[in-house]
Structure 1
C-alpha cells in the first residue's frame, strides 16, 4: 500500500470529559489548534491516553469525529479502534474511514490473551478489513494487552495477509526488537516509537516519529530534543532526554493519566478527570503536583 510515513512528534490525545464523566468535545478544537501551533505532526485518538478502551463505541465515534473535524486535514488523525470484540473493532475502523481519518490502529484483544502469531494476524486482519483503504498500524503495548508476540515474526506473516498493514505503534522498552522490526522486508514497515522517556534511544536506532502522552504538555521540550538529535548535538540531546525522564518520574509519583489531566488543566485545558477504574486526584494531590512541577522548572520550559 502506498502511504506517507509518519514523522516527528504525534500527540496521543486525551478525551475531554465533564464532571459527570460525559464527553466534552467543545474543548477539542482549541486543544488541536494548540498542538498544531506547538509543532505536533499528528494526532493519535482513542488510544491508552484517550481511554478508548473505557469508552463506549458511540463515544469513541463521537471523539473521532471531533478530532477529525478539528484537525481539518492539517495533520493526520490516527484512530485507535482496538476492542475485545473484533466485530466492534471492525465497525470502528469503518467509521474512522467514513468520517475522514487518515489512518487506523488497533491493539489486540486483551481479556482472552493472544498467545500465537497466527491468532494475532487473524485478529488484526479482521479489524483492518473494516477500512481496507486506510493505512493500518498494529499497536504493540504488551504491558497492557498481556500479549508479547514476537513483532518481527508478526510483520513477516501479517505483511503477506493484511494488505493495508503499514507498520507498528511500538510501545515497549525493547529497543533491540524495535530496531529489528525496522529491518523486516527491507525496511518496508513504518515502526513508530511509543515510550516518551526513551525517545533519544529510539531515534538512535532509526525512529522517525514518536507517539506520546507527554508531548501534549511539554511539546517545546521534545521539539528541542528532536532538533538536538538531528543536529547531532548529543550532549544536549542527552540533557533534554534526562529532563523528560525527570518530568515523567515527577508526574508518575501520582496515578499517571489522572495527573496528566491535571497538568493540562494547569495549562488552560480543562479535560476533566479520568473514567473509572482510574482514580481522581484530590485537590491536595493536585496542588502538590503543581508544586513538584514548579520545583523542576516545568512551567518555564514545557511550552
Structure 2
C-alpha cells in the first residue's frame, strides 16, 4: 500500500437533472474530458461531489459510474465519510467490491470529535470496511470543525489502521502539511487540497493535489507544476495568480453551483446543486461567463494551453 499518487486529482462533480435527481449519463463524457485535460485521478462523492447531500444508494451509483468510466486508466478514490460509521463502513465495502482503487473519509461531525484517539477509533472502523484498499483520512476542518493535530493522528493511526495510506489535507497550514509529509521518512502520502495554494504546497514537497477547479482548469495547474519543476518561479507565480483570480471570480457566487455553471460553459449540462446549496440565477451565470472571459479563461483552460502556450 505504498504506491503514492501523483499529479492532479479532480474532485469530481455529481450530475443532477433539472429536478435535482441523480443523472449519471454525463459521467462518462466528463471522465473522458478530464483525462484529456491531463487529470491523473478522480476523487468521487467528496465535498465537491455533494456526497453529504446524496443518499447512500445514490453515492453507490455515482461511485460505480466513475469507476466504470475510468476503466482503470486513472485511479478512483471514493469518499465514504458519513455521520453514521455503520453506513460509512458499508460504503467502504461497496467501494472495494466495485473495483475502486482507494477510499477516503471525513470524520463524523454532528457530534464533535475532541481527541485524536477517538478520531483514530472512528477512522479505523471505516477503513476496516475495505481492508484491501488504501485509506486516506480527509482533513477539512472548515467543514467538519475538527482541528486536531494531523501529525499525531498519523502517528497513532499508523499503529491502529493497517491500511492507512495518508491524508487528503484540505487546510492552509503548510507547516503542518510539511510535517505530515516528512513524518517517518515520508511514510505517508499527503495530498494537498487547497487549489489557490498549489505552488506553496509544491515548494513544501507535495507530489499530488486534489481539487475542485482541476475539473475546469487542469492545464493551468499543470502549467504551474511544469514551471515549478523547471525552476521558473516567476512563471509559476504568474500562473498561480491566474488561478487565484479565477477562483475569486467564481467565489462571488455560491461556489459549487458556479462551478457547475462553468462546466456547463465547457459543454457539460450537469444541473445545479441540492439544498442547502443554492442555484445561480441566469443573470449571475452570464455575469460569471463575462468575468471569466475577461480573465482569458476560455483560452488558457484548454488542453492545448500548457505552460508555454499560456501567454501573459
**Whole-angstrom CA distance in 2 between matches of 1:142 and 1:259:** 23
Size of the aligned set, in residue pairs, is 302
**Whole-angstrom CA distance in 2 between matches of 1:301 and 1:114:** 43
Residue 116 (structure 1) aligns with: 115
Residue 14 (structure 1) aligns with: 13
Secondary structure, counterpart of 2:42 in structure 1? strand
Shift of 1:3: 3.3
Q: What whole-Å deviation, never above 9, does each CA across 1:171-205 have from its counterpart, x for those lacking one?
A: 00000000000121221000000000000000000
**Whole-angstrom CA distance in 2 between matches of 1:252 and 1:76:** 29
> After the TM superposition, which residues 1-303 of structure 1 pair with which residues of structure 2 at under 5 Å, given as runs?
2-303=1-302
**Whole-angstrom CA distance in 1 between matches of 2:113 and 2:228:** 37
Moved more, 185-194 or 83-92: 185-194
**Whole-angstrom CA distance in 1 between matches of 2:293 and 2:38:** 24
**Whole-angstrom CA distance in 1 between matches of 2:270 and 2:99:** 24
Runs of at least 4 residues off by over 6 Å: none
Shift of 1:23: 1.0
Structure 2 unpaired stretches of 5+: 303-312
Shift of 1:228: 0.5
Shift of 1:4: 1.4
Secondary structure, counterpart of 1:169 in structure 2? strand
Q: TM-score, normalised by structure 1?
A: 0.99
**Whole-angstrom CA distance in 2 between matches of 1:84 and 1:3:** 29
**Whole-angstrom CA distance in 2 between matches of 1:284 and 1:232:** 42
**Whole-angstrom CA distance in 2 between matches of 1:288 and 1:182:** 41
Q: TM-score, normalised by structure 2?
A: 0.96
Q: What whole-Å deviation, never above 9, does each CA across 1:233-262 have from its counterpart, x for those lacking one?
A: 110000000000000001001110010000
Secondary structure, counterpart of 2:26 in structure 1? helix
Structure 1 unpaired stretches of 5+: none
Secondary structure, counterpart of 1:63 in structure 2? helix
**Whole-angstrom CA distance in 2 between matches of 1:121 and 1:52:** 22
Shift of 1:42: 0.2
**Whole-angstrom CA distance in 2 between matches of 1:234 and 1:295:** 25
**Whole-angstrom CA distance in 2 between matches of 1:150 and 1:219:** 31
Secondary structure, counterpart of 2:214 in structure 1? coil
